[in-house]
């Protein structure tokens, strides 16, 4: 296997469709095909995303009445409904040809979340990765996927060691280009610790742990130059009713 580099991209702010389209382009069109890439990003305003396979009729029952329909977007990855109003959001892309990309989905999920939990513990948060499942409620599968993220912790999610509340979850997509990993940390689940965390230091620690896990050297890189027509076209696709109401 080749030696991996981990490109750390600048933080950007975008709407729901823009952020989801950008993550997908980082998988499909990144100019340095052999480099892993990581970005933390923010949201222009209240936004919600949901898993590729979820039905829009269910999703709408989980949104607040004030949700802006233009800031609701179907992801290319799986998972449940994610409220981005108070989260810390990131994307990690691992190209084909590297050991980490070839791992089973449960194993890549666990390893990334171990890195995130390590970074939180460095900030004094008793974060742990969930390694077992409780008996399922009636009508539920044991550790089956929750329709709404952060309502219930699944196997290998990051949880608060004292309260058991789910802190972080993620969703993945694999194709011939590699692995796209989209993750979200729900700040309110941290409790009082949320007000004392140095988020810049947390991000640095998380990236360092990821680089160690990937056996990669992490380097800050400028934003890649995507084809503007392709980017704007993909944003329009992700914003369209055909995409949002696909299922």
**Which runs of E-coded beta strand occur in the chain?**
4-8, 12-14, 36-43, 48-50, 72-74, 82-83, 87-95, 127-129, 158-160, 166-175, 178-186, 216-220
- pLDDT by residue, tens only, the chain of 247 residues: 557 899 999 999 999 999 999 999 999 999 887 899 999 999 999 999 999 999 999 999 999 999 999 999 999 999 999 999 999 999 999 999 888 998 999 999 999 999 999 999 999 999 999 998 765 555 444 444 556 555 668 899 999 999 999 999 999 999 999 999 999 999 999 998 888 999 999 999 999 999 999 999 999 999 999 999 999 999 999 999 999 998 8
69's CB contacts (< 8 A; 6+ apart) are none
Full set of structural domains in the chain with CATH: 4-131+146-244 (3.30.930.10)
CA distance 87 to 22: 18
């Amino acid at each position: 296997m080749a030696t991996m580099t981990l490109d750390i991209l600048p933080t950007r702010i975008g709407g729901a469709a823009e952020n989801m389209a950008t993550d997908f382009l980082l998988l499909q069109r990144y100019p340095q095909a052999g480099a892993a890439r990581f970005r933390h990003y923010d949201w222009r305003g209240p936004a919600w995303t949901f898993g590729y396979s979820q039905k829009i009729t269910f999703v709408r029952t989980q949104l607040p009445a004030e949700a802006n329909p233009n800031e609701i977007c179907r992801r290319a990855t799986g998972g449940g409904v994610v409220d981005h109003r108070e989260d810390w959001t990131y994307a990690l892309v691992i190209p084909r040809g590297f050991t980490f990309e070839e791992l089973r989905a449960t194993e890549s999920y666990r390893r990334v979340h171990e890195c995130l939990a390590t970074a939180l513990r460095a900030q004094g948060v008793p974060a742990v990765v969930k390694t077992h499942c409780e008996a399922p409620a009636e009508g539920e599968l044991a550790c089956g996927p929750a329709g709404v993220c952060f309502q219930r912790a699944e196997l290998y999610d990051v949880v608060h060691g004292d309260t058991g509340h789910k802190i972080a979850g993620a969703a993945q997509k694999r194709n011939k280009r590699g692995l796209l990993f989209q993750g979200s940390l729900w700040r309110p689940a941290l409790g009082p610790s949320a007000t004392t965390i140095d988020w810049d230091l947390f991000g640095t620690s998380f990236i360092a742990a990821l680089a160690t896990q990937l056996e990669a050297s992490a380097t800050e890189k400028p934003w890649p130059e995507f084809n503007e027509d392709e980017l704007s076209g993909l944003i329009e696709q992700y914003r369209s009713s055909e995409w949002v109401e696909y299922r």
